Copies of this chain bind each other. A is one copy, B any other.
């Protein structure tokens, strides 16, 4: 029941690694992370076994947070599934407008971790499955004729939005993606046969 005023070395490491791997990429040196976290070298290996373990745990943590953010965003939009889905794109537009935005962390991780056996890949894959399920769930509630397919399309729009926002800032990708998302969501609504 010790109420720590300062997070322990483990949390400090995760936080520093989360920030530095995003701003500097997966190639950041361990020394930079240790220095930023103000943590002894040994503690890293005690807690995570090495750099790969630390990176993987960072991805796991952020994935939990980001999946929760999807749900929070949708809950704030009310009960209507259509509004809930479109709110995701509005929210991503806000995030992408942040000066600190540097693209999708999970895509960057998959592209940067050349080794296909790196445990980080499994984490990113699971993250995408979670997001897909969240989107599909709303589409089912909408009685969308092809919820799985539509979820694929929405996820493609999300990835496209994040990629364009990272590489062509100022082109307003969020609005463009939202327009297309509306058509996906509204598919087969008032159409005959």
From B103, B153, B171, contact of A179 by CB (8 A): B153
The segment from A19-27, A37-45, A68-76, A136-144 found at the interface with B is A19-27
Contact B157 A25 (CB under 8 A): no
Closest CB in chain B relative to A95 CB, distance in Å: 16
Partner-binding segment picked from A47-55, A56-64, A109-117: A109-117
Interface hits, A109-136 → B, CB 8 Å? 110-112, 114, 124-125, 128
B173 touches A152 (CB 8 A): yes
Q: A176 near B152 (CB under 8 angstroms)?
A: yes
Chain B positions within 8 Å of A128 at CB level: 167-168
- Inter-chain CA distance A176–B164, complex, in Å, is 18
Q: A107-B163, A114-B23 are in contact. Are A180 and B168 (CB under 8 A)?
A: no
Tell me the residues in window 82-127 of chain A with beta carbons closer than 8 Å to chain B beta carbons. 102-104, 106-108, 110-112, 114, 124-125
